[in-house]
Chains A and B, each alone.
Chain A
């Protein structure tokens, strides 16, 4: 059974810092991995999706890497801003392609001005 763990559970940083959020999964036979952002009272916004054959994806100040063999992914946020404050969720789809997403509990990020 796939399990996804996110570390840290919460993170507070001053504006401008570069930061890394970590995600690990127990079964390396994944189909893809997706990073989401959730704002309070809102739904999930997809940030980046990495297919199992890819090593990383970039979107603006965000960069997500995937090391499938070690069961790890990182989300790197450059030059953090107060607007980045949210909960960041990591989710994996297992290798069968037919299964759905298994989520971690998320990392709650607070970027202070």
Chain B
């Protein structure tokens, strides 16, 4: 079974440009999460989809970040326009949605996209 995949693995852009990151979750996983780690800091939550709906987007830094998950499959995270402080590693994770006692269980992470804004 394929794990969580992310594209691209690396991206180097100039300040003011636009970048779109893609995440393909594990097939059948309804929950999809975006996280970010900037240098020297801990990994921080950005947002959470349940299928195509945004369950929680409290971690999105500002309105330059736009996440979508059309059809409830893969997700994209667009940064427009990119700023220097957006540099970091962007991780995507997915988990299986189950009803009952353990609705939000173990999260499986992708390899991340390393974004460098010059």
Interface residues of A (CB under 8 A from B): 4, 31, 34, 36, 41-46, 49, 51, 89, 91, 93, 97-106
Contact = CB atoms under 8 A, between A and B. Distances in A.
Contacts of B109: 36, 43-46
Interface residues of B, number: 26
Given A4-B42, A31-B104, A97-B103, 7 more contacts: A34-B107, A44-B93, A44-B109, A51-B102, A99-B56, A101-B33, A103-B35
Contacts of A103: 35, 42-44
Given A97-B104, A101-B45, A102-B45, A43 B111 contact: yes
A91 B109 CA distance: 13
A49 B106 contact: yes
Interface string B77-118: 000000000000001010000000011111111111000000
21 contacts: A31-B104, A34-B107, A36-B109, A43-B4, A43-B6, A43-B111, A43-B112, A44-B91, A44-B93, A44-B109, A46-B108, A49-B105, A91-B43, A99-B56, A100-B48, A100-B59, A101-B45, A103-B35, A103-B42, A103-B44, A106-B42
A43 B110 contact: yes
Given A36-B109, A44-B109, A89 B103 contact: no
